[in-house]
C-alpha cells in the first residue's frame, strides 16, 4: 500500500489536541486525513483534509465516517464500538481494534483483565452502582480508605475520588464503578509502548509524573524518570507484557505505581497517544505521534530513545477564569533556551481545562526541572 502522496485516506475519531498533534505527522508524510469530532471548534479542524462535526458515540455517524476511509484510528477511547465492529467485519482495518477497546473502555473490565493475566495491579471490587457499594461497606466487605472510579468515561482526574469516610460518598454519581485499594507509592510512572500490525514492538523510556494536589492532573512529566535502573527495567518489562496481553496496535500508555518497596503495579492504560508522551515531540528521536502513525500503517517503528532530558508542563486554565483565553507571559517563557509551547487551539478557558503544554529540553535534568518550575510560575492561562 502506498500511503504517501496518494489517495489513501486515514480516518481519526476525535479531533482534540491529540488529533491535532497526530495530524502534524500525517502532514509531514502527506497522508490524507478525515476527522470526526462533536465540536465545530475542535483543535484538529484546520489540520485535516476533511473535517466532520458529529457524535463519536452515535452508531450511524461513526459507521458513515468509516465508509469514507481506508483505515480508522482513534484519539479518544469513548467511541461507538458496535460501529467499529461492523466496519471491521466489512474489511476496514481499525486500530486499536474494537476488541481491545472493549476491554479498556470499562475500567472494571480493564482491572479484571490484569488479574486474569497475572499483571500486577492494586486490589479492586466492582459495583453496579452506589447502593451496591454502600451495601459492601455495611457488610464490612469494603473498608475506607479506597479510590472510587467511575467504570466508564473518566478522564484527567474526572471520575476518580479518594474516599476516606462516608462524607466523600455524598456527591458521587450513581453509576457503575469500582473501589481500588489505596496504594502507598513513591512515584507515579508511565511507559508508552508502540506496537505495529506485524508485531514489531518498542517502549519509550520510563517517565515520572508529578501531580497537582487538588486537580488530580499531571503537572510535570519528567523523562527519564529519576528512578533506579532496575525499577525502570521492571516497568518496561511489565508494559510489554500488558501490550502483548491486550494485543493492541498503535500506542499504549501504561500508567503505573512504584510502591514503597519498589514493586510496580499497573494503574490503567490508554490505547492512544497520551499526555505522558508529549515530551517526545522535542526530546525523542521519534515522537509518540509519529510512532502511532508508523505502527497502524505497519511501517518500521522509529527510534524511541531520548536525545536529551525532557520535561513537559501542562498548561491548564487558572482557577477563577472562564471565557476567551489569554496566555499571560508566553513571550517571557519563549525567551528561555530549550522551551517550546504547544497551544491546543481551544478558544474558551475554564478552571483546570487542558489548554496546552510546554516542553523543556536540556542536557542537564536538574536544570531542566528548574526551568520547568520557572515556566510553571510564569505563564498563566487566564481569560479576557
Calpha distance 61→18 (Å, rounded): 21
Calpha distance 4→1 (Å, rounded): 9
188 in a known ligand binding site: yes
181 in a known ligand binding site: yes
Asked if the peptide bond before residue 7 counts as cis, ω within 30 degrees of 0, the response is: no
Give the CA diameter of the chain: 64
Kindly state the DSSP code that residue 3 receives in the 8-state scheme: -
149 in a known ligand binding site: yes
268 in a known ligand binding site: yes
Find the helix or strand (DSSP H, E) in which 113 lies: helix 107-116
Kindly state the DSSP code that residue 358 receives in the 8-state scheme: E
Task: Decide if 361 contacts 341 (C-beta within 8 A).
Answer: no
- List Cα–Cα distances, 71 to 16, 51, 52, 325, in angstroms: 19, 16, 16, 35
Q: Are strands 32-37 and 9-13 parallel, antiparallel or unpaired?
A: parallel
CA distance between the termini of the chain? 49
229 in a known ligand binding site: no
107 in a known ligand binding site: yes
- List Cα–Cα distances, 178 to 34, 226, 257, in angstroms: 36, 31, 18
Sheet with 323-328, side-by-side order of all strands? 348-349, 323-328, 380-383
75 in a known ligand binding site: no
Calpha distance 274→102 (Å, rounded): 19
Task: Decide if 67 contacts 14 (C-beta within 8 A).
Answer: no
Task: Decide if 34 contacts 14 (C-beta within 8 A).
Answer: no
Strands of 263-363, DSSP E: 264-270, 309-316, 323-328, 339-343, 348-349, 354-362
231 in a known ligand binding site: no
Q: How long, in residues, is the chain? A: 384
Q: Cell match 476496514: residue? A: 92
180 in a known ligand binding site: yes
| Three-state DSSP state, 239 | helix
Calpha distance 90→317 (Å, rounded): 43
Grid cell listed for 343: 497551544
Instruction: Please give the annotated binding residues, written as ranges.
Output: 107, 149, 180-183, 188, 267-268
**Residues placed in the known binding site for ATP:** 107, 149, 180-183, 188, 267-268
Amino acid at each position: 500500500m502506498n500511503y504517501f502522496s496518494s489517495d489513501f485516506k486515514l480516518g481519526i475519531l476525535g479531533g482534540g489536541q491529540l488529533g491535532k498533534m497526530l495530524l502534524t505527522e500525517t502532514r509531514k508524510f502527506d497522508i490524507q486525513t478525515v476527522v470526526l469530532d462533536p465540536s465545530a471548534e475542535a483543535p484538529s479542524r484546520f489540520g485535516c483534509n476533511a473535517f466532520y462535526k458529529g457524535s463519536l458515540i452515535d452508531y450511524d455517524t461513526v459507521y458513515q465516517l468509516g465508509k469514507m476511509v481506508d483505515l480508522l484510528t482513534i484519539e479518544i477511547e469513548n467511541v461507538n464500538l458496535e460501529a467499529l465492529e461492523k466496519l471491521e467485519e466489512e474489511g476496514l482495518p481499525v486500530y486499536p481494534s474494537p476488541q481491545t477497546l472493549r476491554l479498556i473502555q470499562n475500567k472494571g473490565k480493564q482491572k479484571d483483565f490484569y488479574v486474569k493475566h497475572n499483571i500486577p495491579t492494586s486490589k479492586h471490587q466492582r459495583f453496579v452502582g452506589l447502593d451496591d457499594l454502600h451495601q459492601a461497606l455495611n457488610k464490612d466487605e469494603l473498608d475506607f480508605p479506597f479510590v472510587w472510579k467511575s467504570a466508564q468515561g473518566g478522564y484527567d482526574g474526572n471520575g476518580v475520588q479518594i474516599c476516606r469516610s462516608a462524607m466523600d460518598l455524598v456527591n458521587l454519581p450513581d453509576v457503575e464503578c469500582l473501589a481500588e485499594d489505596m496504594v502507598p507509592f513513591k512515584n507515579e510512572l508511565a511507559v508508552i509502548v508502540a506496537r505495529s500490525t506485524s508485531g514489531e514492538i518498542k517502549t519509550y523510556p520510563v517517565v515520572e509524573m508529578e501531580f497537582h494536589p487538588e486537580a488530580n492532573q499531571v503537572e510535570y512529566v519528567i523523562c527519564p524518570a529519576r528512578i533506579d535502573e532496575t525499577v525502570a527495567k521492571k516497568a518496561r518489562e511489565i508494559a510489554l507484557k500488558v501490550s502483548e496481553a491486550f494485543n493492541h496496535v498503535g500506542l499504549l500508555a501504561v500508567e503505573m505505581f512504584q510502591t514503597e518497596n519498589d514493586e510496580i503495579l499497573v494503574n490503567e492504560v490508554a490505547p492512544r497517544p497520551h499526555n505522558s508522551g508529549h515530551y517526545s515531540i522535542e526530546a525523542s528521536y521519534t515522537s509518540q505521534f509519529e510512532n502511532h502513525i508508523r505502527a497502524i500503517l505497519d511501517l518500521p517503528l522509529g527510534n524511541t530513545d531520548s536525545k536529551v532530558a525532557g520535561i513537559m508542563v501542562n498548561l491548564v486554565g487558572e482557577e477563577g477564569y472562564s471565557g476567551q483565553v489569554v496566555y499571560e507571559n508566553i513571550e517571557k517563557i519563549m525567551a528561555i533556551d530549550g522551551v517550546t509551547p504547544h497551544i491546543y487551539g481551544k478558544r474558551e478557558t475554564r478552571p483546570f481545562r487542558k489548554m496546552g503544554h510546554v516542553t523543556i529540553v536540556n542536557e542537564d535534568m536538574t536544570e531542566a526541572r528548574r526551568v520547568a518550575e520557572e515556566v510553571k510560575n510564569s505563564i498563566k492561562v487566564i481569560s479576557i
